[in-house]
């Protein structure tokens, strides 16, 4: 077979069967510019087809073996339309008159598809105007348009997009938290060893007591004090020794495990705080609370009590076995007979129990979810008289909890008694075999008594070991759910090589910013330059992407494509906390934490002096109403605290933003939750805040944005108009329509007011 | 005059309303795609306004209805899971290999919360790209698939 090797090499990452098929079809000097292996066909079934863009045409085939490759020479007027819906992207090739072809793919391939379409547009533009100048794209990541590190082709921001499934065996992974305490853990282990050994002494002393004191007494030799006291003393000493060692061991290990549990909880919470808003949007509060609260506690109890017991049990078993074998190997063998059976049982039951307990945990999360939903929304529940329905919802969750528990308990309840039965049967064997051996004078009565004493301890241990199966599985299930949180890398990650900005002037540049939430594209191709100190008003219908844009600038989420730069630096290259220090945020529903008013104002800068707090409150026009409160700045607010009106809360949050003196200010519907009179007051406070800062304001009432330097009108995720109020009104476009609609509404309201 | 639908040369759907006015580029949308897909279909304009509403699709004449259903079929992508051949791990995120009515595929499940329970043992699994996979009836899956799924519920 002869294969024409093209002079221009094919892209390295093109899959092999396609390479071979394609190589024979390209002209010698034809260069591949972009390619896309789609994963859906026209009927939306999973199957691969290829679309290749070269410097002169588009090529497509349904399979590498296909003979009917389609080809479209590049021509002026040709364009790609791109839409995506419900997770499926569609590229449609059009010329001036017709649709020529469509390709479909899942959104996993979206960036590749868009890159191909972009490249195609550029080539077509070059046909129309060969001297067209294009923005220099060197040094930018082709995917996300973020600047690449100087001598690196891999974009550090795109790399993280690949998710790695975490490793399993959750309990062993707890070692990471145990490591800092390994010295104390070793001490605890040695103490366990010693105390277990001390516990084994008493039964051993029963042999001589029996054989040298009690049995001779029955055959006529009198018991003398001299013969008895060493054994009695030995028993007492062993008991005291075991007590002291056991106390030290329990104390040390309980302390350590308590610390491990605390570390685990803190680490999990820290990690949670580092997550993006996207994560919290997708999680339910009750479930997260259950994981951090109840499950860390369960792991803690497991480590402090059960793991300790388990270690003791294993040691005890092992040491007892050694002692038994040293006294009489045959009898020992019979004693250990039930062990393999029990081990097998533990093994079979374990898996079922673990999955069962995982399920119980998840359903427990559901129960807490109902609580976390209902209690904050209690006003709505009562207003719509739905108490009964919520009760039923809770009862249903609880019932499911019960059912799942019942299922686990069915396995579990059988397990314990079966172990007990096996041990009883084992004991029977020992008695029988022992009596037979004594009868044949192979062993003494003392040896048999010692054996019975040992194995009753032995079986007791076995019993408690079987109990630990359930606790271990519970803890393993809990650990898994904790590590689910810990393994979740933040979708707003800290940069690997952070850039530090000492001073920020407040220049913001958005470059073809796109954002999708799930499978919905919320923002597309947003380009905007904001000068330092400029006041930008964001306008648009609800759902047009205003809040999303602001959230992206805040870096609550990361852009899906494009980049946001502050003073020329990509915000993804700055440490998150450092970057957010430059941003002041005032929200529609200001959130006050439980604490004093002063604490709340100083939330962003806990080291602020009282004078600074008062100055901020004055500037925010909050000083006077605060002084009217019974405890002034020391009044408690937030949950269970002093009730404040919407306007008052808002002014506190403005003072909070003023105090950190940010270069960039974001007002997200800061005045829309209050009446017109209060709005005026807040507006005065805001005027102080806005001065000299780059400001982005979203307002539903367009009249509040009169002072803006520029208004940016968004519609369905795209910027449709930019300009000043008067310009935009003159243009009679989107803004004009929005404004007139509001005017009419206001007039209608006024007229109604007159009638009423 | 009744409402009519046409497909133009660019493959877009156009609506001709009762007054004979033509609206190019309309998109059909189901109001309850999960709970009542047969009822309530709206036609939306390119700028997101509702142009027409049908309580039931049989209100349309046959040709237009065929066009509408064809367009819906092109837009709706919710593979039905027939079997789960394997998962990379029982803790999330993990990769699922599934066999669907649209062929075999692999997707990433981000968290257990992305499995939504609907009424009657129906499940909706959302992957990391927002694609929904439907399990029509959990009880009708084969045993190994059910066992895997059970670990995530």
The DSSP result for chain B, as a single string, is ---EEEE-TTS-EEEE-TTS-EE-S-EEEESSTTT-TTEEEEEE-TTS-EEEEEEEGGGS-HHHHHHHHHHHHHH---PBEEEEEEES-SSSSEEEEEEETTEEEEEEE--GGGEEE-STT-EEEE-TTS-EEEES-GGGS-HHHHHHHHTT-
Longest pairwise C-alpha distance within chain A: 126
The answer to whether residue A349 scores a pLDDT higher than 60 is: yes
- A224 and A86 assigned to the same domain: no
What residues contact B123, with CB distance under 8 A and at least 6 apart? B115, B116, B117, B134, B135, B138, B149
Task: Quote the CA–CA distance of A306 and A318 in Å, as a whole number.
Answer: 18
Reduce the DSSP state of residue A655 to 3 states and report it. helix
Number of Cβ atoms within 10 Å of the Cβ of B49 = 10
Provide, rounded to the nearest whole percent, the portion of chain A with pLDDT above 70. 90
Among A86, A108, A168, select the one facing B91 at the smallest CB separation: A168
Q: Of A340-354, A554-568, A679-693, B31-45, which gets the smallest average pLDDT?
A: A340-354
**Range with lowest mean pLDDT among A275-284, A311-320, A579-588:** A275-284
Per the structure, the count of domains in chain A is: 3
Q: How far is B62 from chain A (nearest CA, A)?
A: 21
Three-state secondary structure of B39-79 = EEEEEECCCCCEEEEEEEHHHCCHHHHHHHHHHHHHHCCCC
CATH number of the domain within which A467 lies: 1.20.1560.10
Instruction: Copy the structure tokens of residue A653.
Output: 């949050």
- The shortest CB-CB distance from A98 to any of B9, B127, B131 is to B9
The answer to whether the Cβ–Cβ distance between A87 and B90 falls below 8 Å is no
* Mean pLDDT along residues A582-597: 82
Strands of the sheet with B81-87, listed across from one edge? B81-87, B94-100, B103-109
User: Is residue A366 pLDDT above 60, yes or no?
Assistant: yes
Cβ contact, residue pair A166, B104, below 8 Å: no
Do residues B108 and B87 make contact, with C-beta atoms less than 8 angstroms apart? Answer: no
Residue found under tokens 């495990």: A257
Residues A483 and A519 in one domain: no
Q: Residue A88 and residue B75: Cβ atoms within 8 Å?
A: yes
A573 in the same domain as A717: yes
Alpha-carbon distance of A636 to A234, in angstroms, equals: 65
Q: Assess A86–B contact: CB distance below 8 Å, yes or no.
A: yes
Provide DSSP, A101-137.
Answer: EEEEEEGGGHHHHHHHHHHHHHHHHHHH-TT------
Pseudo-torsion of CA B147, B149, B151, B153, nearest 10°? -130
Lowest mean pLDDT among A287-291, A362-366, A509-513, A637-641: A637-641
Q: Does B44 touch chain A (CB under 8 A)?
A: no
Query: What is the spatial distance between Cα A25 and Cα A532, in angstroms, rounded to a whole number?
Result: 54
DSSP A670-731: TTTTS-HHHHHHHHHHHHHHHTTSEEEEE-SSGGGGTT-SEEEEEETTEEEEEE-HHHHHHH
Which chain B residue shows the shortest CA-CA distance from A94? B10
Estimate the share of chain A in helix, then strand, then coil, as percent rounded to the nearest 5.
Answer: 55, 15, 30
From A609's Cα to the closest Cα of chain B, the distance in A is: 44
Question: Which is more confident, A489 or A413?
Answer: A413
Q: Are B30 and B40 in contact (CB under 8 A)?
A: yes
Task: Based on the fold, state whether residues A482 and A520 are members of the same structural domain.
Answer: no
Rounded to the nearest angstrom, the gap between the alpha carbon of residue A723 and the centroid of all alpha carbons in its chain is: 41
Compute chain B's Rg from CA coordinates.
19
Q: Which two tokens stand for residue B144?
A: 């190994």
3-state secondary structure of A39: strand
Report the distance separating Cα A215 and Cα A192, nearest Å: 35
Q: Which residues 470-489 in chain A show a CB within 8 A of chain B?
A: 480, 483-484, 487-488
Query: What is the structure's pLDDT at A204?
Result: 84
Q: Does the beta carbon of B45 lie under 8 angstroms from any beta carbon of chain A?
A: no
A260 assigned to some structural domain: yes
Measured between beta carbons, which residues in chain A are less than 8 angstroms from residue B128? 163
- Cis-peptide into A414, omega within 30 deg: no
In a domain, A357, yes or no: no
Is residue B47 scored above 80 in pLDDT?
no
- Say which of B88, B110, B129 has its CB closest to residue A108: B129
- Comparing alpha-carbon positions, the chain A residue that sits nearest to B115 is A282
Q: Give the confidence band of A673 by pLDDT, cuts at 50, 70, 90.
A: low
Within 8 A of B34 by CB-CB distance, chain A residues are none
Is residue A568 situated within a structural domain? Answer: yes
pLDDT of residue B98: 92
A147 versus A42: the higher-pLDDT residue is: A42
B15, B51, B149 from B2: Cα distances, Å: 11, 14, 48
Tokens of A94: 């059009």
Tokens of A397: 């969750």
Q: Which two tokens stand for residue A85?
A: 């819906």
**CA–CA separation, A500 vs A579, rounded Å?**
9
The verdict on residue A533 lying in a domain is yes
Q: What is the pLDDT of residue B97?
A: 92
Q: What integer pLDDT is reported at residue A162 of this predicted model?
A: 44
CB pairs under 8 A between A and B: 101
Domain assignment of residue A505, yes or no: no
Q: Which residues of B touch A86 (CB under 8 A)?
A: 75-78, 130-132
Q: Do A92 and B126 touch (CB under 8 A)?
A: no
Q: Tell me the sheet residues that pair with B4.
A: B16
Task: Give the pLDDT confidence score for residue A142 in this predicted structure.
Answer: 53
- Residue A737 contacts B where some CB pair is shorter than 8 Å: no
- CATH code (residue A688): 3.40.50.300
pLDDT in tens, A176-210: 888 888 888 888 888 888 888 888 888 888 888 88
Q: Which of A38, A41, A44, A161 to mutate to test the interface with B (most CBs of B within 10 A)?
A: A44
Between the CA atoms of A599, A600, A603 and A606, what dihedral angle is there, to the nearest 10 degrees? -20
Query: Nearest C-alpha of chain A: how many angstroms from B48?
Result: 8
More confident residue, A400 or A157: A400
Tell me, rounded to whole angstroms, the distance of Cα B126 from its chain centroid.
Answer: 12
Cα separation, A306 vs A437, whole angstroms: 38
CB–CB of A86 and B77 under 8 A?
yes
Token pair of B71 as six digits = 């367009």
Q: Specify the pLDDT at position A154.
A: 54
Confidence of residue B65 (pLDDT cuts 50, 70, 90): confident
Contact A422, A430 (CB under 8 A): no
Residue B119 touches partner A, C-beta closer than 8 Å? no
Q: Is A163 within 8 Å of B105 when comparing Cβ atoms?
A: no
Using an 8 Å Cβ cutoff, are B32 and B92 in contact?
Answer: no
Compute CA distances A351 → A167, A190, A357, A474, B91, whole Å. Answer: 18, 32, 10, 11, 15
Measured between alpha carbons, how far is A495 from A323 in angstroms, rounded to an integer?
Answer: 60
pLDDT digits (tens, 9 = 90+) for A136-182: 455 555 555 555 555 555 555 554 444 444 444 667 777 888 888 88
Q: What's the confidence (pLDDT) of residue A3?
A: 47
User: Is residue A681 scored above 80 in pLDDT?
Assistant: no
Q: Which whole-number Å values give the CA distances from B8 to A77, A473, A736, A749, in the listed order? A: 18, 62, 32, 45
Interface contact flag, B11 A99, Cβ < 8 Å: yes
Chain B hits for A283, CB-CB cut-off 8 Å, are 111, 113
CA distance A377 to A394: 14
Q: Which residues of A touch B125 (CB under 8 A)?
A: none
8 Å CB contact between A416 and A466 = yes
* Final residue of a structural domain among A471, A487, A503: A487
Q: Does B21 touch chain A (CB under 8 A)?
A: no
Please indicate, yes or no, if residue A425 is contained in any of the structural domains.
no
When mean pLDDT is compared across A478-482, A648-652, A713-717, the lowest value belongs to: A478-482
| Contact call for residues A252 and A188 (beta carbons, < 8 A) | yes
DSSP one-letter code for A147: B
Note whether A188 and A125 are same-domain residues.
no
Nearest beta carbon to residue A283 from set B79, B100, B113: B113
Q: What is the DSSP string of A366-423?
A: HHHHHHHHHTTTHHHHHHTT-HHHHHHHHHHHHHHHHHHHHHHHHHHHHHHHHHHHHH
**Which residues from A are below 8 Å from B129, CB to CB?**
87, 106-108, 519
Q: Is the pLDDT of residue A7 over 60?
A: no
Mean pLDDT over the full length of chain A: 80
Which residue on chain A is closest to B147 by alpha carbon? Answer: A355
Q: Tell me the average pLDDT across A378-405.
A: 86
Q: Does B132 contact A at CB distance below 8 Å? A: yes
Predicted local confidence at residue A1, as pLDDT: 40
Query: Of the residues A422, A452, A487, which one is the last residue of a structural domain?
Result: A487
ipTM of predicted assembly, 2 dp: 0.85
Average pLDDT over residues A715-739: 87
- Mean pLDDT, range A633-658, rounded to an integer: 79
Comparing CA positions, the residue from A465, A206, A254 lying closest to residue A343 is: A465
Interface test with A, best of B11, B69, B81 (most A CBs within 10 A): B11
Residue where one domain finishes, among candidates A114, A134, A154? A134
| Window from A73-82, A239-248, A672-681, A704-713 with minimum mean pLDDT | A672-681
A512 pLDDT above the threshold of 70? yes
Is residue A290 in some structural domain? yes
The domain in which residue A40 lies consists of 16-134
């Amino acid at each position: 077979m002869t294969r024409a090797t093209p002079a221009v090499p094919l892209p390295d990452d093109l899959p092999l069967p396609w390479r071979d098929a394609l190589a024979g079809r390209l002209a010698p000097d034809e260069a591949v510019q972009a390619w896309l292996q789609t994963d859906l066909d026209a009927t939306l079934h999973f199957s691969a087809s290829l679309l290749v863009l070269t410097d002169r045409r588009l090529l497509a085939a349904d399979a590498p073996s296909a003979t009917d490759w389609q080809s479209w020479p590049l021509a002026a007027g040709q364009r790609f339309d791109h839409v995506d819906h419900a997770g499926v992207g569609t590229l449609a090739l059009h010329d001036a008159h017709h649709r020529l072809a469509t390709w479909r793919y899942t959104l996993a391939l979206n960036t590749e598809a868009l890159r191909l379409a972009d490249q195609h547009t550029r080539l077509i533009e070059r046909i129309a105007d060969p001297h067209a100048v294009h923005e220099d794209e060197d040094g930018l990541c082709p995917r996300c348009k973020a600047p690449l590190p100087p001598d690196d082709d891999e974009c550090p921001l795109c790399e993280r997009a690949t998710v790695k499934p975490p490793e399993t065996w959750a309990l062993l992974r707890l070692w990471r938290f145990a490591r800092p305490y390994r010295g104390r853990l070793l001490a605890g282990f040695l103490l366990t060893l010693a105390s277990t050994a001390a516990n084994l002494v008493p039964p051993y002393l029963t042999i001589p007591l029996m054989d040298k004191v009690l049995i001779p007494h029955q055959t006529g030799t009198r018991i003398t004090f001299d013969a008895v006291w060493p054994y009695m003393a030995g028993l007492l000493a062993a008991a005291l020794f075991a007590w002291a060692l056991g106390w030290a061991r329990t104390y040390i290990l309980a302390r350590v495990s308590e610390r491990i549990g605390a570390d685990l909880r803190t680490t999990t919470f820290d990690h949670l705080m580092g997550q993006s808003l996207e994560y919290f949007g997708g999680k339910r509060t009750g479930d997260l609370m259950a994981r951090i609260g109840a499950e860390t506690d369960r792991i803690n109890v497991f480590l402090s009590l059960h793991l300790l017991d388990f270690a003791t049990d294993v040691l005890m078993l092992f040491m007892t076995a050694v002692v038994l074998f040293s006294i009489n190997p045959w009898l020992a063998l019979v004693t250990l007979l039930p062990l393999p059976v029990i081990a097998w049982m533990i093994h079979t039951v374990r898996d079922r129990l673990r999955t069962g307990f995982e399920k119980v945990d998840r359903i427990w999360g559901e129960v807490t979810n109902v609580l976390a939903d209902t209690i904050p929304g209690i006003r709505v529940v009562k207003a719509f008289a739905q108490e009964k329905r919520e009760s039923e919802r809770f009862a249903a969750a609880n019932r499911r909890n019960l059912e799942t528990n019942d299922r686990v308990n069915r396995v579990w309840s059988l397990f314990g008694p079966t172990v007990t039965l096996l041990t009883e049967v084992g004991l029977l064997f020992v008695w029988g075999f022992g009596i037979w051996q004594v009868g044949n004078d192979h062993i003494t009565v003392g040896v048999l008594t010692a054996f019975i004493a040992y194995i009753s301890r032995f079986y007791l241990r076995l019993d408690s070991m079987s109990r630990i199966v359930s606790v271990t599985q519970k803890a393993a299930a809990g650990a898994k759910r904790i590590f689910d949180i810990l393994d979740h890398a933040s979708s707003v990650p800290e940069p690997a090589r952070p850039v530090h900005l000492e001073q920020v002037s407040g220049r913001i540049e958005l470059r073809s910013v796109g954002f999708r939430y799930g499978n919905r594209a919320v923002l597309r191709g947003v380009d905007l330059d904001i000068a330092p100190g400029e006041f930008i008003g964001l306008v648009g219908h609800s759902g047009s992407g205003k809040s999303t844009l602001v959230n992206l600038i805040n870096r609550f989420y990361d852009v899906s494509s494009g980049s946001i730069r502050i003073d020329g630096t990509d915000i993804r290259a700055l440490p998150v906390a450092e970057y957010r220090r430059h941003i002041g945020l005032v929200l529609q529903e200001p959130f006050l934490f439980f604490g004093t008013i002063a604490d709340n104002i100083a939330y962003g800068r806990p080291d602020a002096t009282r004078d600074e707090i008062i100055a901020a409150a004055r500037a925010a026009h909050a000083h006077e109403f605060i002084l009217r409160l019974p405890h002034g700045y020391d009044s408690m607010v937030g949950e269970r605290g002093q009730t404040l009106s919407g306007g008052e809360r808002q002014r506190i949050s403005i003072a909070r933003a003023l105090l950190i003196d940010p270069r960039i200010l974001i007002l997200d519907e800061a005045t829309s939750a209050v009446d017109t009179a209060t709005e005026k007051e807040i507006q005065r406070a805001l005027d102080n805040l806005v001065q000299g800062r780059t400001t982005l304001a979203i307002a539903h009432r367009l009249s509040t944005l009169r002072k803006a330097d520029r208004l940016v009108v968004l519609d369905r995720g795209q910027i449709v108009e930019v300009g000043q109020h008067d310009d935009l009104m003159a243009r009679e476009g989107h803004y004009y329509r929005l404004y007139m609609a509001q005017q009419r509404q206001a007039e209608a309201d006024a007229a109604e007011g007159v009638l009423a | 005059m009744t409402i009519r639908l046409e497909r133009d040369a660019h493959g877009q759907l156009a609506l001709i309303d009762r007054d004979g006015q033509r609206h190019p580029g309309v998109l059909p949308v189901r109001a309850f795609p999960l709970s009542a897909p047969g009822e309530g279909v709206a036609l939306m304009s390119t700028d997101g306004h509702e142009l027409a509403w049908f309580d039931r699709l049989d209100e349309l004449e046959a040709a237009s209805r065929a066009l509408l259903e064809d367009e819906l079929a092109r837009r709706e992508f919710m593979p039905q899971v027939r079997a789960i051949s394997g998962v990379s791990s029982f803790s999330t995120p993990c990769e699922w290999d599934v066999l669907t009515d649209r062929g075999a595929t692999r997707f990433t499940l981000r968290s257990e919360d992305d499995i939504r329970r609907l009424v009657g043992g129906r499940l909706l699994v959302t992957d990391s790209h927002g694609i929904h996979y439907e399990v029509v009836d959990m009880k009708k899956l084969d045993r190994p698939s059910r066992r895997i799924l059970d670990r995530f519920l």
